[in-house]
Structure 1
Amino acid sequence: MRHTWRWFGPIDKVSVQDAAQAGAEGIVSALHHIATGEVWPVDEIAKRHQEIKAGGLYWDVVESVPVSEDIKTQTGDWKRHIANWQETLHRLSASGIRTVCYNFMPVLDWTRTDLRWETRHGAKAMRFDLTDFAAFDVHILKRPDAALDYPEWLREEAHRRFSEMADSKIAALGKNIGAGLPGSADGYTLDQLLEKLRTYQGVNRERLQQNLIDFLSEVTPVAEQVGINICAHGDDPPWPLLGLPRILSTEADYAHMLGQVDARANGVTLCTGSLGARADNDLPFIATRFADRIHFVHLRNVTRDTDTVPCSFFEDEHLEGGTDMVAVIAALVSEEARRLEEGRTDHQIPMRPDHGQEILDDLTRGAQPGYPAIGRLKGLAELRGIERTLKHQRYGLGA
């Protein structure tokens, strides 16, 4: 695999040079300052390339070209936004980009209730606490009829939890849950979040699925034309939130998407952490089933409090948690060998160590939550060791 590293641009407190020292071979980045739905300017794309080259690496993967809420709901400027997405693909391809990640999560991107939860050994990790989330939804956001989405035991526990919450905890929940895409300036106040939720009235799971297929039917031919692989990131967490449907949460969801738009350029961002928050997702099997269409990989691990869906979980160390990381990497290494034998130019799959716990000097650096320097270095080293071992001639999985 090609070992990459997410970098949020000049605002990132972890530099490109830090990434190179950690062992990364390429950078994953995006133009977070460009408004969602607008075409990415050629000069801004070139500037980002130069910023990355100055640190000693190259821009390998775009994560993400955001998909607007208009596209997801097929309202407002959605047709113009699709045309702009297509034009951005043209411009990125001309600059040398060959992989573009995106997601189709309505309103909220990845969602956590705590961005710096303390682990057993004093590291800081991101956590999704189901009771805290229900308390936020019912008692802080006060979404109409929110209580109907939770079982009685959880409503009672959420009420108890909220009654004991300090004002600082209430404020933190609103900030953490209402945060926008990582690295962006987006984010919602409670009133803004409620208004965004109202725009999805009438958009059920089936309609959102069809809107995704409509989007892919328009952009995939352009991706094929310009030589870019586009790859959908899974829902995080992988279940409905705030009354909104989610449509890339399971093996069956991905099978539907890939089957409806059956082109190699339409593929998967395999995120073992997102899908791994569900006990019913078999990650090694999913990696094997969709191997031919996996264009980008996020390797991380979560530990679930329970095996129910939904559940509480936290971001564990990369080789801990519920996902058999060795089996996942073995499936990917085998797929790379198959592609190389087939003569595919995309035989090397870009991978990045996703998220990471804040350890050692990370605890005072103040980097983007989930994207520490040393925690990711540790994860990348562990993952690279597994891959190197599996590719050794003694085991014969790699080319």
Structure 2
Amino acid sequence: MKLFPLATLALAAAASPAFAATLVGSGYEQPVFLTAPTGDSRLFIVEKTGRIKVQDSGGAVSTWLNLSGQVDTAGERGLLGLAFDPAFSTNGRFYVDYIDKTTLNTVVASYTVNGSGAVDLASAKTVITVAQPAGRSNHKAGWIGFSAADPGHLYVATGDGGSGNDPDNNAQNLNSNLGKLLRITPNAAGGYTVPTDNPFVGVAGNDEIWAYGLRNPYRNSFDRQTGDLWIGDVGQGAREEVDFASAASGLGRGANYGWRVREGTIATPGISDPTPPNLTEPIYDYGRANGDATVIGGYVYRGGADASLEGKYVFGDYISGRIWTLNGGTATPLASPFGGSTLTSFGEGGNGALYGVGIDGNIYLLAAAVPEPAPALLLALGLAAGSLFTRRRRA
């Protein structure tokens, strides 16, 4: 595996704000996600085959967690998601989302790291499982995450269970956790509790459900500054959609995003179900021109190093490899380093640098983050030396 010093590349990119991808890692095995704890200089790369690799700021790579023996990888199954607890710096806890090799169901599990930062395998605890239909290997979603606007609650995205046109109508069924965004409070000892303000607590419907009507919300994100929710919901044959829920307006509590009745902003071809009332329309959708066919949800860039991107949502398409920004409902194309059927995810570094992940094993820095001032500069500015030891290095 070729090594790339991240710190050097980030500084170089920060000096030139024009959008230009820089290869910072290669040789990964089917990577599908990238993330990092806030303030951490390392990158954590999720491989579909069951491993999480860590790449340090000097470019050195090591295996951080190996779940390959318990992860099924057929079709769209695999190790699909990773989220760090908001209190990771003190409790060392993180969460993974994968398809279990034995049951073929979705499992969200927690682990903790020991004092040296290594994963304690004995700490594994199942948080929630979601039953999957037998014989279907697609639409497994896999994203999990925490919002800065809603700390302590884990959001879990699930696909509709697979096959065409959601044959079991799972996404509209409030007694199924498929085709949903779930919201739960993980327990340190395993399992979870349901927040009392979830929309279906005390009424018809599963208590865990936060929002519904989703087909395969494979890649989503929370804006690290506002806590707003962005969803990239993969379409079937006509439209790809991006959904948005403002933290200030309730983060989409109880929202119905329309599937299987609606695909993006149109009625789903071949489906004659009556349209439910009060659907939440996507903030943006697009068709199948130019080879586009699978939306990859991204992030609102908050790195501070590229003014042209700051505050804009960056997303892409797996099939075409194209990348856009979305601002005020207008999508603007960006130069993309990805060919067709390559882009699997975007990711954020510890202080907001934006990355792109390719199934071919390549990781690209798309937009850097403003680095913290060097200690000598801080001293020159007359800052107290004591504060230098309280600031964490960022990536």
Which one has a larger percent strand, Structure 1 or Structure 2? 2
If the length of structure 1 is used for normalisation, what is the TM-score? 0.28
Kindly indicate which of the two structures has a greater share of residues assigned to helix.
1
TM-score relative to the length of structure 2: 0.29
